[in-house]
Amino acid sequence: MSRSAAPFPNDSLAGRDVAYHLHACTNLRQHERDGPLVIDRGEGIHVWDTAGKRYIEGMSGLWCTTLGFSEPRLCDAADRQMRRLPFNPTFRGRSHESLIDLAERLIARAPVPMSKAFFASSGSEANDTAMKLVGYYHHATGRPGKRRIVARRKGYHGTTIATAAITGLDDYHTHFNLPTADVLFVDTPHHWRHARASESEDAYAARLAADLDRAIVEAGPDTVGAFIAEPVMGVGAVLVPPRTYFERVQEVLRRHDVLLIADEVICGFGRTGRWWGSETFGMRPDILTCAKGLSSAYLPISAVLVNDRVYGPIADASERVGIFGHGHTYSGHPVCAAVALEAMKIYEERDIPGHVRAVSQRFLDGLRGLAASPLVGEARGVGLMGAIELVADKSTKAPFDKSRQVGAQVAARALEHGLIVRAIGDAIVAAPPLIITEPQIDDLVGRLAQALGEVERGQPVSTPRKFVSTGP
């Protein structure tokens, strides 16, 4: 499509965006027709577009602007660090105060004893690093064949070659020659959708654990290095694990000496009502990855925490080799580290996880109230992340035909009512900033109810496809 053919003035923001910007996780041809939603500014839980319309940012951007869009302490921290030391690498043993303070605070706040923190710029890089560490660790301990990663269908872990390979969503594999042979997928833990008739959550969890055990045995335990899991599968559409699931899974991992990677990129820093999703669901990871809320998304930073079991052999091997040959130019960037450190102080001083626990029942009850709609088969969630699943038949749980794009219609209607939510297939997902208040939750749910009612009554929307997403 030529630039001049775009249906927007060439000198407009929309026209320039279509002409020059390759968007992430977007239907590119549809974007050429529909154009962007250009956001101009933000304050608290709200953002405004360039036409001046205000929206509740019901997805915290990408699950990440946890402290809202106008926290002055984060801006001030960036300014102070920028003026003091705008850059310093971490290669060859170099460091700086903000990074040292941040690493210490992260290790102190870890859900289980951890030894060291490595820093990167995104969740994808953090999970990519975790995968490399698994191979390095097993090689260092004399088991170089233990390199396969067990992941789950509908799990999301990133978009690098490695992390897209362990992401269990077909959209991230098609045309990219993924996944690779080093990935082993097991079933999605979604009791409402996949449990057998009359199968309890405990029985379902036991069956999934048995299936995991069988998959590892069939693949060969000497080839399987780690199991990676989000505490709650965010991009899978907020799939909350059934009771006893992680308890049973971890029994299997211990039996086969398989490391556990907790992908806390979405769940970390209070989203589930505890500092970590691992605490909410009893996970005891060997490696933990985090990003998004680490800086409330004000600057790009992620971290990988490793326990001493993993760190010790890696450190010994680096001495034999002469170097630990991994890193990124912006690992532990001073300004990003300073902002993340200030964000952690705010989480602690204001007890943000406690606030989430205090208001989350209002949020989840509001979503469950929407289940009265004939379109809603299930309402689910934990903390301040939730979803409603839209179905054609509530009694049989039969989904809508994909061509109807019912989820996209609801998301488009919500946008018209000043609410940004995410349609993941026919699930509508919300994960507002963690500073949201109960009256603001009521406002969010009310706008979503309006959108749902309009789609239920058959009121059309103009461009529903642009609101479809399986992205992060």
Q: Residue 417's closest CA among 444, 383, 457, 390?
A: 444
| pLDDT at residue 7, as a whole number | 78
Check: CB of residue 385 under 8 Å from CB of residue 431: yes
Residue showing tokens 């299930």: 378
Q: Residue 287's closest CA among 325, 327, 269, 314?
A: 314
Check: CB of residue 298 under 8 Å from CB of residue 120: no
Q: Could you read off the pLDDT of 20-45 as tens digits, one per residue?
A: 999 999 999 999 999 999 999 999 99
The CATH architecture of the domain made up of 37-70+352-467 is Alpha-Beta Complex (3.90)
State the CB neighbour count (10 A cutoff) for residue 21: 11
Pairing of strands 224-229, 148-152: parallel
Domain boundaries, the chain: 37-70+352-467, 73-349
pTM of the entire predicted model: 0.95
Check: CB of residue 156 under 8 Å from CB of residue 472: yes
Q: For residue 2, is pLDDT > 60?
A: no
Q: For residue 17, is pLDDT > 90?
A: yes
Q: Could you read off the pLDDT of 155-208 as tens digits, one per residue?
A: 999 999 999 999 999 999 999 988 877 999 999 999 999 999 999 999 999 999
Q: Could you read off the pLDDT of 394-405 as tens digits, one per residue?
A: 999 999 999 999
Mean pLDDT of the residues in the chain: 95
Pick from 44-53, 92-101, 171-180: least confident: 171-180
- Name the class of domain 73-349: alpha beta
Q: Residue 125's closest CA among 333, 315, 308?
A: 333
